[in-house]
A and B are shown apart, each in its own frame.
Chain A
Amino acid sequence: MSSENQWSGATSDTGNVLDGSALGALLGGNGATAGFSINYERVPQTIADLEEAARFVRGRAKKAQGLTRIPAPGADGVSLNAVAQIGKWASDTGTNNLEATLVAGATQLENLAQKLREDLKTYLQVEELNIPQASPGLTL
């Protein structure tokens, strides 16, 4: 490992500690990630930013749900149909509506952050990490 704490071709750097882990696969240079390097000192910031992004996306899911609470502005067919269509698009019974997609995306971001957290603990052999605040201006 270099003095700049870069991981590159990490199979040799990390030994077997990260075998089978997402971070290990990434650092191990499998397939398209061959030759990829990571500054592991930046992983804590990445974790914080992923968590912030997950919170933000879940907040947007709540707003998407709000779109389904709009009453029709009138009893005419166009108004009723417009509200029905917006509602279906925002949060209908399927899995591809906006709210469900955002909730699922937020969960995936959380899971990724947690996986990185676990892998970094394993690599550093520590019980607890020092994770900074999310980067300023990360969310809109």
Chain B
Amino acid sequence: MRSGLVGSLITVGSVIALVGCGAATPPEPARSSPTQAASPIPPVKNPRDVSALARRPCDLLTSQQAAGFGLDLPPRQKDGVLGNVDCEWLSTTPERQTLRQVIISTFTNNPTLEIAYDQDRGRPYFELTVISGYPTLVSRPTADTPDCDIDVKPAERQSISISYHSYAFKNNPQQACVVGKQVAAAVLMNLPLKS
């Protein structure tokens, strides 16, 4: 078990290193091609500022909202994979069973939805939708586990990524996306409008 985890980490680290090597060379500016298809992600109206809370992702849900979703307090801030900061909320029983696990990441200079649209379309579940007026991708990494990934675009090149897991939905895994969308809506309301 432990060696498996270490193996995964080493592999992930190798990939990150590979990306790092690529980034060390000054990149060519991205150019739009005349043949490039129009983005399926709709434009953002009334943009909200993710950068205001990017270094404090645990403030993306208030204590009251977290309690409303059945999450324990306090949440834990963690390092993200791309130099960003994540926040994790858990809900555990007195018998240490994890009922819910919510992890939120922020991106402040990344075309996340445009990239994710191409990457995630073939997943067991995939949906381009709108939450509280903001473009959102909803997907599930596996067909039979109660896990849902949600990417919201509150502003151009800014996004919030939410992973929602609930053991209670193991017999109805699609329900993870229903509650996950509600978490996303709550997070959006906590972002200040861009001036």
A-side residues, CB < 8 A to B, are 47-48, 51, 53-76, 79, 82, 86-93, 95, 98-100, 102-104, 107, 110, 113-114, 117, 128-129, 131-134, 139-140
Contact = CB atoms under 8 A, between A and B. Distances in A.
B101 interface: yes
Nearest to A63: B81
17 contacts: A47-B95, A58-B103, A60-B9, A62-B86, A63-B80, A65-B161, A71-B115, A72-B30, A73-B25, A74-B27, A74-B30, A82-B22, A90-B15, A92-B122, A103-B141, A114-B97, A128-B95
A79 B22 contact: yes
Interface in B9-45: 9, 11-12, 15-16, 18-19, 22-23, 25, 27-31
Nearest to B92: A51
B145 interface: yes
A48 B5 contact: no
B90 A55 contact: yes
Given A65-B141, A98-B12, A131-B96, A59 B31 contact: no
B22 A69 contact: no
Contacts of B18: 82, 86
Given A69-B116, A75-B30, A103-B141, A53 B1 contact: yes
Contact of A54 (B27, B94, B98, B123): B98
B23 to A, nearest CB: 5
Contacts of A113: 97
Interface of B: 1, 5-6, 8-9, 11-12, 15-16, 18-19, 22-23, 25, 27-31, 78, 80-82, 86, 88, 90, 92, 94-98, 101, 103, 105, 107, 110-112, 115-116, 119-123, 141-142, 145, 147, 149, 151, 161, 163, 165, 167, 170
Nearest to A105: B4
A134 B98 CA distance: 12
A86 B94 contact: no
Given A65-B141, A76-B28, A51 B96 contact: yes
Contact of B145 (A86, A93, A104): A104
Contacts of A54: 98
Contacts of B141: 61, 65, 91, 99-100, 103
Nearest to B103: A62
B76 to A, nearest CB: 10
Given A92-B119, A140-B6, A62 B105 contact: yes
Nearest to A60: B8
Contacts of B78: 59
Greatest chain B CB density within 10 A among A76, A86, A133 is at A86
